[in-house]
Amino acid sequence: MANMKKALMVVESPTKARTIGKYLKDSFEVVATVGHFRDLPKSKMGVDPKNDFEIDYVIDPKKKDIVAQLTSLSAKADKIYLASDPDREGEAISWHVKWLLTNGQNSKLKTQNLKQKEIKRISFHEITKEAIEEAIEKAGEIDINLVNAQQGRRVLDRLVGYSLSPILWRKVRRGLSAGRVQSVAVRLIVERETEIEKFVKENYFKVMADFGFVADLFKVEGKQFIISSKVKLFDGEYSFSKSLFSLENQAKEFVSQLQREFDVTAVESREIGKTPLPAFTTSKLQQMAARRFGWSGKQTMSLAQRLYEQGLITYHRTDSVNLSAKAIEEFRKYIGEKYGQNYVADAPRVYKNNSKNAQEAHEAIRPTKVNLLTVEGDAKENKLYEMIWRRAVATQAKAAKLSNTTVILKNGTGEFKSIGVKVNFDGFLKISGDKHEDQLLPELKVGDKLKAKQVKYEEVSTNPPPRYTDASLVASLERQGIGRPSTYAPIISTIIVRQYVTRDEGKLLPTALGKATNEFLSKNFNDILSLPFTAEMEESLDKVALGKLDWKKMMHDFWDKFEKEVKNVEKTAERVKVATESTGEKCPECKVGELVIREGKFGKFVSCDRFPDCKFTRTYKELAGFNCPLCGNPGVVKKTSKGKKFFGCSKYPDCKWAAWKKP
C-alpha cells in the first residue's frame, strides 16, 4: 500500500487544493497552479496577426517552482485530473496544464510518457465531497471551444491595448494604456458627467394634504398634475418628474381656493402577491453588496472567492439564475421544518435566464449546505454568506401577500391620491430579511368627507441623472450586454488604477485625464468604443464558446478593419490636451510657469505647467470652505487610504483636528 500510486488533481488555488484534499485524503495528491502560469508575454504583443494570429505563450518566471512541482508529481501519478474552475478561464488553465504535461519545456523533464497517461478534465460548481466524486465519475475532455473563447478575448484585448496605447502616448500623454471594454466603461462615466453638466435644473411646486396620512395632488381639471420628462443618455434614457406649477404664486393661488373638506371619490383595494427574486448572479451579487455594504466589485469577488474555495457556496462567476433540483428540494424541506409548511411555495419555483448571453450551464450562487446559517471567521465573509443564503433559500418560499389600497379625494378642480400598503402574510420576506413597512390608511368609503389638518405646497427641484456607482455601472454594462461575470470587477478597478476615474463617496467621476482620453478615443475610434460594437464582440465570443464561430475568423474580421483605422489615426489625428486647473500662482522654482492642479497616482497634486522642463511639485490641499475649529486655519478635504472623504486642518501635523463631517 505504501508504494501505491496516487492520482493527481490540479486546481488553481492553494485554498481550493486544501479543501479538496480533505475530501480525497490519501487517494489523491492535489496541487495548485496559483492562477495562470502560461500567458502572453508582458514585454511584447505576443500575437502575430500576419501568421493567422499565432500566439507566443510564455511561462511566468515566477511560476518555475510550480511548473517543476507539476512535472514531478505528474511523473509519479497514474491518472491526472484537471479540476480548474468551470468557466472559460478555468478551461484555458487546464489546457495549458495539459500542454505542459504532454510537451514539457525540455527533454530533461521527461514528460513524453505522459502522452500515454490518462489526463482528464473534471468540472464541478461546488466544492463538496459529493460534487467532486460525481465529477471524477463523469471525467471527460477539455472543451476546446471554451478554451478558444478565452484565447479570443485575450488576443482581442491584447491587439486593442497594444495598438491604442502607443497612440495615446503620442496624442494624449506618455504612459497611458487603453482597454477594449474598460474604455467603454470610461466613456459611459464621461458621457454621464457631460449630461449632468448640461442638465438645466427646474424648480416646481408640489401640493399635498395632511389627514393624518398624506395625499398628493395628481390631477387638476382632469389633467395629470405630475408630468414626466426625459433626457437622452448615451446608454439609454433618464426620466424625471415635474409638476404643472412652475411658479410659487400658481401653487399658492390653487391652495387658497381649496375648501377645508375633501370628498372621497374612489377607494380601491386589492391583494397582490410579491414573489422572491432569483438567487444571485455575479452582477446582482456585486450590485447588492455595493448598495448594502458599500463594497467595490473587487472586494465582493475576493470575499466570494474565499467562500467558494472553502466549499461554502457554489461557483461565484455565473450569469445563470438556475438552481439544481437537489438544492431546490433541500431548500423546500428546510423551509418546512424551520418556518412551517405554510411558508413553502406550492410548487418548486424555477427561474428563467433573461440574458440570451448566459454562459455555460452554471447555477446561480447559493449555499452548499442549507443548514449552515453563518460561517466562522471573517465578519465580512459572514455578511456576504448570509446575504447569499437568504436570497437563495427564499426562492422556494411562498409569495408575500400585501393589501394595496388607493384612495382618491377631490377638492374643487384638484384630485389627490394616497396609497396604503399592509403586509397580510410575510411569506418569503421572513427568510430574505427584506423589510416592508406598512403604510396604513383609515377605513374609508366613497362619499366620506375628510377635513384636512393642513394643505401645503413645497418647492422641489428636478435632479440631473445620477452619477454612476459601482452597482449602477455594473447594471448598465450588463443591460447593454457588455462584459461577463469574470470581468465586471476588473473593469472598474482597472479604470481607477489607470486614473481615468476616481471614486468619491461611492460615486464614479471621470478625471481630466479620463475625459481627455475618452475625447480622443471616441472621436477617432467611435465604432470600436460604441456600445453596440462592444456587445457584438461579446456575442461573438459566446458563439465561439458554443462552437458556432471560429475564433480566428472573428479576429480576421476585426483586425482587417481595425488595423487600417489605427494607421489612419496615427497619421491624421490631432493631439488632445489634458485639462488642468490653474491655481493662479507663479511657479516659485522657474518663475516663468504657472502652477496647475494635476491628477497623479495618489490623487491630485500641484505642479508647474512647464513640466517636464520644470519639475516643481507640491502637495495639493483642497479647501473645505471653513476654518479649523481648533486653530482657525483653513480646513481641507482629505481621503483615507480607501478613498473615504474626511476633513482636517491645513496645518497638519501641527494641528491634528479631523472629523468625518463639516463642523
Residues comprising the chain, all counted: 663
Kindly provide the residue ranges of all beta strands, DSSP E only, lying in 188-325, ordered along the sequence. 203-210, 214-220, 223-224, 226-233, 236-243, 261-274
- Whether omega for the bond prior to residue 612 falls within 30 degrees of 0, making it cis, is yes
Grid coordinates of 544: 465561439
Please list the helix, strand and coil fractions of the chain in percent, rounded to the nearest 5, in that order. Answer: 40, 25, 35
DSSP string, 171-219: HT-TT----HHHHHHHHHHHHHHHHHHH----EEEEEEEESSSEEEEEE
Sign of torsion over alpha carbons 96, 101, 102, 103? positive
DSSP state, residue 417: E
DSSP state, residue 26: G
- Please tell me which residue in 204, 308, 315, 457 is annotated as part of the active site: 315
Cα distance from N-terminal residue to C-terminal residue, the chain: 75
Cβ neighbours of residue 657 closer than 8 Å, sequence gap 6 or more: 628, 629, 630, 631, 648, 649
What CA–CA distance (Å, rounded) separates 657 from 192?
Answer: 36
Distance of CA 456 to the CA centre of its chain: 42
Could you give the count of Cα atoms lying within 13 Å of 295 in the half-sphere of its Cβ? 20
The neighbouring-strand residues paired with 43 are none
The alpha carbons of the chain give a radius of gyration, in whole angstroms, of 30
DSSP state, residue 379: H
> How crowded is residue 567: how many other Cβ atoms within 10 Å of its Cβ?
11
Whole-number Cα distances in Å, 197 to 194, 463, 509, 573: 5, 12, 12, 27
What CA–CA distance (Å, rounded) separates 195 from 251?
Answer: 30
CB-based contact 371:334 (threshold 8 Å):
yes
- Would you tell me the crossing angle of helices 297-309 and 282-293 to the nearest 10 degrees? 120
Pinpoint the alpha helices (H) of 412-550.
429-432, 470-479, 488-497, 512-524, 531-545
Sheet of 581-586: strand order equals 581-586, 594-600, 603-608, 617-619
Strands 79-82 and 7-11: parallel
543: nearest Cα among 551, 534, 532, 552? 551
| Range 457-470 burial, b when 16+ CB lie within 10 A, else e | beeeeeebbebbbb
What residue has cell string 453588496?
A: 289
| 315 counts as catalytic | yes
Grid coordinates of 661: 463631517
What CA–CA distance (Å, rounded) separates 214 from 168?
Answer: 57
Cβ neighbours of residue 605 closer than 8 Å, sequence gap 6 or more: 597, 598, 617, 618, 619, 620
Which residues does the annotation mark as catalytic? 315
